[in-house]
Structures are given as C-alpha cells and as structure tokens.
A and B are shown apart, each in its own frame.
Chain A
C-alpha cells in the first residue's frame, strides 16, 4: 500500500473537527493559510452539533454549529478529511511536520450522493444509532444525522451483509464497494491538536445501574431527546416509552471522584444539567425536575443568573451526592442519598434518571507523536507548558492545542482557546518562514 501513498502539502494540519478544530481551521484559512482538517467521525461538528440548546444563552446549538460547519466545508483554503485517522506525526524540522494519514473508505462517492435516503430504506440491517446515542436504530446504509456535514450516505461496513440492495436502488450509482483505504503523507508547517474529550463511561459506576436499569440515561442521551433533531417527538423514557414526570439529575457522575480515577471537576455538567432542566420544564410543564449536587459550579459569565433562573422556574436543587440507584418493577428508580442540609439519609423515587456524566481526556492526542514527545498532564489532557503566558503552547514547538483537548471547558472557552491556538500557529509559521 505504501507505493500508493500520496504526498500532500499544507500550511497547517488541524486534528479534530469539533467546534475547536473547526474554529482554528477557519481562522487559519481566513488569514490565507491552506489547512487540512482531519476528523475521525463521518461528520464535522464534534459534540456540539449533537447538542440541544446551549447555556447560558439557550441559543439553539444546531443553529450556531451548522452555518459554521458549512462555512468551514465551503472554504477554499480548507480541505476536509472525514473518517480519517492521523496515525503519526513526526517533526523533521521547525517547519516540516510529517503526518501519516489513513482515510477510511465510506463506500459512497460523497460528491454524487444526493442524500435521497433510498439506500437507507432498502437496507435490511438495523443497528443502534450512535449519533442518537443508541436511543433508536439506524440502517447499515445511512445518513449519519440530518444536519451532518458532509450530508451524504455512508456504509457501516462492520454491520453490512453485502446484500447489494442499497447499490441497486441508488439513483446516482454512488455506492461503491470497491473503495479502499487511502494513505497520505502530509507535510505541514504547524499542527493544531483539537481532539476534544471523551464522555465518562457510566458503566464504571455499577451502583448507578446504567445499562441495567432501563430508565437511567446519560446527559448526552437527554441532549438528543430535547434537541430539534431529536429521535422522538417528545421526551420519553426508554424503558416503556412513558412520558416521565419526575426526573432526577445525578451530578458529578464520574467527575470529582477519585474512586473512578477522575478526581477533577468537568466544569460543564452543572451548567448543562441546569440548562436541560430548564428545557424540560418547558417541554413537560407538569414534570418535577430535581438536581442532586455536591456543589453547583456556576462560575462563568451569566451562569449564576442562569442557575437562579432555574430555581425560579421550580427546578428543585438538593445537596447530596447520589449513593445508589435501585430499579423498581415498574421501571421507576429509587435514589439513596444523604440530604446534607438535614444530615439524614433519604430515598427518593423518580421515573427517569439522568447521569450528568463528566469529561474525560481523549488519550488519542498523546499516541500520535512518537515516544511521548507530546506531554500530557496527570489527567492525560494535552499539557499546556506555558499556561499563564501562552496557553495554546504544548511541549512541542509548533504544535498547539485547542479546546477540550487541553482541559474540560464549555463552548465559549473552546472557541477562545481555538482563537489562541490559531493565532499562535500563524505567528509560528511567520517566524519560521524562510528557514
């Protein structure tokens, strides 16, 4: 395969096409630099494109992300590789970063696909839809989600039975099972790491019963339930499709918890839970929403007001970490906690529980560079070697970090961080121009 390796040249490589990577790419491109944006998923947009509304403004997340993503996609200075992996990056000299990139086959020629969805209807295979967080199913020939970019079909080859049905119905004949992985060798003058974060896996806390109790879901699943492109037309609990009327939020689920190896605060879950609670109060006016917390961290601009607003709307706040969750026969859940204000252990019944799962680092970033050249912090986020002076700098000169790849943060901070990374990258290119 090495013979077929294509050599390509760009000014900048941006790894990760979430909001931070997208913003960094856009800044570089607008300044006249040619950017290759590499994303491992089938769409740009990262976590943000899947969100409902955003705290603290309650703007529609999709309405902000989609235009930005299409601006990125249409930009003449930006080339996008989706479903692609940067396997290694080697720094040969101050302005020659050599990256090996594998582009996986989509089995659909994106330029020809009209997103008519006929293949989807024809495909006999159903699997869980990862973009809807497993709440519903999808086909093996599918459009990832309605606002995905690129908006084109893809074949999930892992689950495909190669029956050929999709190929037959496709009006533009863009489905092509002969596609092969492509290898690229990229030469770039600077690199921005924007590999984002991973969600905490709630299976690590068996006493919360995620995956066993049917009506215990994650906050990301709830984001989908309340998003404009949501899977159902209302809020339903997964166990039996009942509209819930007593919803609990379990904060710090997998954050600030040394017993699961994640002692730090995720910074966003207090606020997104308050946001979801407000949206739920709007969607289900009769429902009770209770937030069980250790401390409410409403430190940002407009956050405290947002918290008070939720209280004013009738969201209940109870100080006490949830210890255990047990399931009743009717699918309701019994939460055991100590009500700290009274010092008394209590049990409360809810018909749906949302685990406000925390932010974990994405260890990918560290693996790309040889022999740990890219330093990680103790929690395996990309280390910021000059946090106070130049927060986008990493342990490798010329490699910058943007967004949640460096630490848990919200969208405004991710965008700010991307701004900092892109301007550092630009000045790095300028400094090493003639070398």
Chain B
C-alpha cells in the first residue's frame, strides 16, 4: 500500500496553490490548535508530512482534507510559516482533480489560459446559438430553461456519479473498509446534514459564527434559486409568490458573494490571503449568476427585455459557463465532495464500532 516517495510532488502541488509547506519541521502545533482535529481524525500535520514526502496514494485515500474548513488557525500559529491551512486547500483542489475521470478539473486548476479559453469557447457557443434563434427573447428563455434542466441531468450522470464512485473507490475500497450495506443507509443523514448546514464549520470559529451563517444562507439561497428557476420556471412564472421568491434568492446570492469577493480583495483572513484563479472564478461567477438572474427578471417585469435581449444573453452565458465549467470541474464540486467525505468518514467509523 505504501507508495514511493516523490520529492517532486511539491512542484505539482504548487500548481494547485500550495505555499511553503516544505518549511514544516513536523511539530504538530497545527494539529493541536485545530479545533476540528480529533483523536480519530488528526490533521493537518499528517497531510503536510505526506505532501512533503509526495506519498500520493496515501493522500488520495485520505478524507482529512475535506474535514478542514479553513479557519486558518493552524497557519496563524505555525512556527515555521509553513501555511498548513493553504496546503489543505490545495490538497482539496488536487483531490478534486484526482476524482475527476475526465482530467479537465486538473487542467482547469493548473492552467489559467486553459480556463480562459474554455470560458471564451462557451461564451462563443451561447452567442452563436442566440444568433441562430434570431435573438428572439421568448425562444431564448425557453431554451435557456431547457438547457438548465438538461445540464443538471447530464453533469450529474456523466460527471458526478462516476467521480463520486471514484472517490468512494479510493477512500473506502482501497482503504479496505468493509461495512454492511445498511451502514450506507444509516449514515445518510450525515451526508444531508453536512450538505445543507455545514454544521462542522461551526466548530471552526467558536466566537464568530457569522461566516458559517453567511455560508449556509448562501447555500440555501443558491440551491433554492436553482429550484425556483428550473422547476418553478421563475422567468416564465406569473405567480407573485414565485416571482418574489426568486428575487429574494438571487438578491441574497449576489449580496453575500459581494461580501466574499471584498474579503478576498482585502485578504482579511488566512482563507483569503492566497486566492487562486479558481477561487475568484467561483465567487465572481456566483455573483454574476445571482445578479444577472435578478436583472433579467427585473427587465421582464419592467417590460424592458424585448429591447434589451443582451441582458438575457449575458445571463445565459454566465449560466452556461457556470454549469459547464465551474459546477462540474471547478470549486463547486468541493461542496459535493466535502459532504460525501463526511458521509464516508461516518461509514468508516461504523466499521470500527
């Protein structure tokens, strides 16, 4: 099971944003000050060690990077300024690339030019399509709606299901975890509770729950906006309740993301000090999604859309880039993998019990 030591792994990890972790002198202070570290799941020092040695198999099989919510305490207190918090973040990006069978995740993380090319390609596709409809608002809204449903289904079946299976294979099967099938059911609450509440992140900052609350509101707002547009057909709806609901959700999405973006600009927390292109992409596109959706509906209600079809094309472009690049291959997946990581950890503890 032990893989080969690979000193060059540090170079690879650097492309995923790691900083200075080779300065680590293995003191364990980071683990001791981490409020999420437990005797069963002690991190991040072990991850720093495995990364320094380049033991890729062990890293691939570990769920610990997903247990970290990047409070940054370890980084602040690290006596060697080895930045273990940022290492955990880069490992999450690296793991995302390992789980992804298409290899696109890794490419997008490692290469900014590839990311920009992909974004431009999608934008061009949307424009071509819009031209083919003769810039007809009605049709655009209709197709946009269909696209959304189709994208969700495809991404789920073609990308997420196989990638989650791969994650399961690395972290459960390869680790020789043997549990009865019913454990997979009884652990399910762990999956959903973490997915929707990120309850573990609350232990991160004992005295400041605001970030956690903000994040949770964002997750709910985003997911319900998705539901409102896809299943309640927000842009086509006549129901006052649905219309107002959509406004509220999209408003929350872009207001909270504006706050996140400004935090990253100000670098006010360790979490915000070393933003990678993927981090910027994620928050900015989420912001644009919320904002453009809000404006499209506003244009509809003010009967401006007919003459300002560009607004909707803009929204469609952002939406398509989001759904085809960021959701399947970018930072969005962290949300999914993290929830599943908690689920798998729970399953593992069931084996030991």
Contact = CB atoms under 8 A, between A and B. Distances in A.
A67 interface: no
Given A321-B28, A345-B38, 10 more contacts: A257-B79, A258-B79, A259-B76, A320-B27, A323-B32, A323-B33, A336-B32, A338-B37, A338-B45, A345-B32
A307 interface: no
A252 B28 contact: no
A340 B48 CA distance: 13
Interface in A297-322: 319-322
B227 interface: no
B301 to A, nearest CB: 54
A336 B32 CA distance: 6
Contacts of B276: none
B79 A344 contact: no
Contacts of B61: none
A251 B28 CA distance: 13
Interface in A335-370: 336-340, 343-346
A395 interface: no
Contact of B81 (A258, A324, A340): A258
B345 to A, nearest CB: 16
A263 B25 CA distance: 12
5 closest residue pairs by CB, A with B: A323-B32, A338-B28, A257-B79, A338-B31, A321-B27
A411 interface: no
A344 B39 contact: yes
A135 interface: no
Contacts of A346: 39
B36 to A, nearest CB: 10
B33 A324 contact: yes
**Interface size band for B:** 20 to 34
A322 B77 CA distance: 11
8 contacts: A256-B25, A258-B79, A259-B77, A321-B79, A322-B32, A323-B31, A339-B28, A345-B39
A338 B37 CA distance: 10
A258 to B, nearest CB: 5
A294 interface: yes
Interface of B: 25-29, 31-34, 37-39, 42, 45-46, 76-81
A320 B79 CA distance: 13
A328 B148 CA distance: 57
B81 A259 contact: yes
Nearest to B37: A345
A338 B32 contact: yes
A337 B32 contact: yes
B31 A345 contact: yes
Contacts of B32: 320-324, 336-338, 345
A340 B78 contact: no
Contact of B27 (A294, A336, A343, A345): A294
Interface in A97-155: none
B27 A258 contact: no
Contacts of B46: 343
Contacts of A336: 32-33
Interface in A253-293: 256-259, 263
Scoring A321, A322, A324, A339 by chain B CB atoms within 10 A of each residue's CB, the highest score goes to: A321
Contacts of A337: 28, 32
Nearest to B33: A323
A173 interface: no
A323 B29 contact: yes
Contact of B77 (A323, A338, A339): A323
Nearest to A342: B42
A258 B32 CA distance: 17
B28 A320 contact: yes
B3 to A, nearest CB: 17
